[in-house]
């Protein structure tokens, strides 16, 4: 079990309020991702749940028990740190066994659990090595192993993949998702990378300046962003925003449309402009278009290879039903 409820939680460092009153529920078995730009308070929020920081006010409940004043190790949570935070003087086996040894478990039970975790994470061959002799990906697996053996109510991941190279990151992303499917344990995952958020989460919590901007499934956030911030943050490449008179004509203070929702046509398009940069990926083509009279640069994603290049005139048809309209306050107009 691992249902985590935050009730009016706040956090201040001295005079600075990092997290204004915040309410959030993470259901048992959910994969929740906290995402937002750096400094938005997502890591602080995770540390509050872990117990590594004290709440200034409010309550944190795990499975109905108030753990606000409970020390980290007694909350039944396990954390994986960005820096892996392995004990460099211990072998992999001892690292993974450490929380169990601290809990006073029998050596035979410890060995059984460590061996099982090592098997799940493909670490069997490395159990007698020290962390310094492992690659980044292997170290991250050891850190996950140390979390798994505790059989926690929930896993907390603090940007666990940001120290890995791009190829490894994609692999580890899959492994963590598979682990979640296998264990069905609650996971809370902090990242600034919206691609990680979209690919892994059941529930995304978008934060800005300590405030929750929106909570929802990846596709809910993609299809119906509550405000301009979420609309701009979720989705890659970023949503295009049309402001001013052009937006007024379309009936809003500003209008957002995703690059993949603008079709490239041969002639007589509703919009037209000049191709600035064309990125040909084979499967897709990204155009960065100027002189549209709508926005400084309009990004368009076209399927397949379209042979327009720099300086060419391009004709476009936006899909009217995929446009997002926002009011002056930045909120979505239904």
Partner 1 sequence: MAIVAQHTKFSKIAWPILAWLVALIFFFPIAYMVMTSFKTDADAVKPEMLFSFTPTLENYANMTENYDYWRFATNSIITSVAATIFTLVVAVPCAYAMAFNPSRGTKDILMWMLSTKMLPAAAVLYPMIFLTKSVGLYDTHFLIVMVLSLINLPIAIWMLFTYFKDIPKDIIEAGQMDGLTTWGEVREILIPLAWGGIASTALLVFIFCWNEAYWTVRLTTTEAATLSKLIEGNRAPEGLFFGRLSAVSTAAVGPIVVLGWFCQKQLVQGLTFGAVK
Closest CB 288 distance from partner 1, rounded Å: 40
**Residue 30 in contact with residue 202, Cβ under 8 Å?**
yes
Q: Which residues within the stretch 125-154 sit at the binding site for partner 1 (CB under 8 A)? A: 146, 150
Binding mask 87-126 for partner 1 (x = CB under 8 A): xxx--------xx--xx-----------------------
> Using CA atoms, how far apart are residues 47 and 106, in angstroms rounded to an integer?
30
Out of 71, 132, 282, 311, the residue judged to bind partner 1 by CB under 8 A:
71
Please state the closest distance from residue 36 (CB atom) to partner 1, in A: 21
**Nearest distance from C-beta of residue 87 to partner 1, angstroms:** 7
Position 82 contacts partner 1 (CB under 8 A): yes
Residue 114 CB, shortest distance to partner 1, in Å, is 14
Q: Tell me how far, at minimum, the Cβ of 26 lies from partner 1, in Å.
A: 18
Our finding on whether 78 is near partner 1 (CB under 8 A) is: yes
**Residue 52 in the binding site for partner 1 (CB under 8 A):** yes
Q: Is 188 helix (H, G, I), strand (E, B) or coil?
A: strand
Nearer to partner 1, 5 or 85 (CB): 85
- Residue from 29, 58, 72, 269 touching partner 1 (CB under 8 A): that is 72
Nearest to 134 by CA among 178, 175, 90: 90
Cα separation, 333 vs 122, whole angstroms? 50
Separation between Cα atoms, residue 230 and residue 227, nearest integer Å: 6
Instruction: Report d(CA 235, CA 215) in Å as an integer.
Output: 15
Q: b/e for 249-268, b at 16 or more Cβ within 10 A?
A: ebebbbbbbbbbbbebeeee
Backbone phi, psi, residue 117, to 5°: -65, -40
Q: Which of 83, 107, 122, 135 binds partner 1 (CB under 8 A)?
A: 83
Q: Using the rule CB under 8 A, which residue among 10, 81, 130, 272 binds partner 1?
A: 81
Three-state SS at 183: helix
Say which DSSP state 303 is in.
Answer: E
Judged by CB, which is closer to partner 1: 46, or 252?
46
Name which of 130 and 253 has its Cβ closer to partner 1: 130
Q: How far apart are CA 90 and CA 309, in angstroms?
A: 57
Question: Do residues 324 and 225 make contact, with C-beta atoms less than 8 angstroms apart?
Answer: yes
Return the range that interacts with partner 1 (CB under 8 A); candidates 28-36, 81-89, 296-304, 323-331. Answer: 81-89
Is 189 a binder of partner 1 (CB under 8 A)? no
Geometric angle at alpha carbon 272, from 269 and 275, rounded to 5°: 125
Q: Binding to partner 1 by residue 157, rule CB under 8 A? A: no
Piece of the chain touching partner 1 by CB under 8 A; list 77-85, 118-126, 271-279, 300-308: 77-85
The alpha helices in the chain, defined as continuous H runs, are: 42-50, 92-102, 107-120, 136-148, 166-183, 194-200, 218-223, 228-233, 244-249
Q: What residue ranges bind partner 1 (CB under 8 A)?
A: 50-52, 71-74, 77-79, 81-89, 98-99, 102-103, 146, 150
């Amino acid at each position: 079990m691992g249902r985590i409820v935050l009730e009016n939680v706040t956090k201040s460092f001295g005079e600075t309020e990092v997290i204004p009153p915040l309410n959030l529920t993470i259901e048992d078995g959910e994969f929740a991702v906290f995402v937002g730009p750096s400094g938005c308070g997502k890591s602080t929020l995770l540390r509050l749940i872990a117990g590594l920081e004290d709440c200034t006010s409010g309550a944190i409940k795990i499975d109905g028990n108030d753990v606000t004043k409970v020390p980290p190790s007694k909350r039944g949570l396990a954390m994986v740190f960005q820096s892996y935070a392995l004990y460099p003087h211990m072998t992999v086996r001892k690292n993974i066994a450490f929380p169990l040894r601290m809990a006073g478990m029998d050596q035979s039970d410890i060995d059984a659990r460590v061996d099982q975790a090592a098997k799940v994470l493909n670490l069997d061959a490395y159990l007698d090595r020290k962390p310094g002799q492992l690659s980044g990906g292997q170290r991250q697996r050891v850190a996950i192993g140390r979390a798994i053996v505790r059989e926690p109510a929930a896993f907390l991941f603090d940007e666990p993949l940001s120290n890995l190279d791009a190829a490894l990151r994609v692999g580890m992303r899959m492994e963590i998702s598979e682990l979640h499917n296998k264990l069905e344990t609650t996971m809370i995952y902090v990242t600034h990378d919206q691609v990680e958020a979209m690919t892994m989460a059941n529930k995304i919590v978008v934060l800005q300046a300590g405030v929750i901007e929106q909570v929802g499934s990846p596709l809910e956030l993609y299809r119906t962003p509550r405000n301009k911030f979420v609309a701009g943050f979720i989705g890659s490449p970023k949503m295009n925003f049309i402001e001013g008179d052009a937006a007024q004509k379309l009936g809003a203070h500003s209008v957002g449309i995703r690059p993949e929702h603008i079709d490239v046509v041969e002639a007589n398009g509703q919009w037209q402009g000049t191709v600035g940069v064309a990125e040909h990926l084979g499967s897709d083509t990204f155009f960065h278009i100027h002189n549209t009279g709508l926005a400084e640069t309009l990004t368009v994603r076209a399927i397949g290879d379209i042979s327009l290049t720099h300086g060419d005139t391009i004709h476009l048809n936006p899909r009217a039903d995929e446009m997002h309209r926002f009011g002056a306050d930045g909120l979505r107009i239904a």
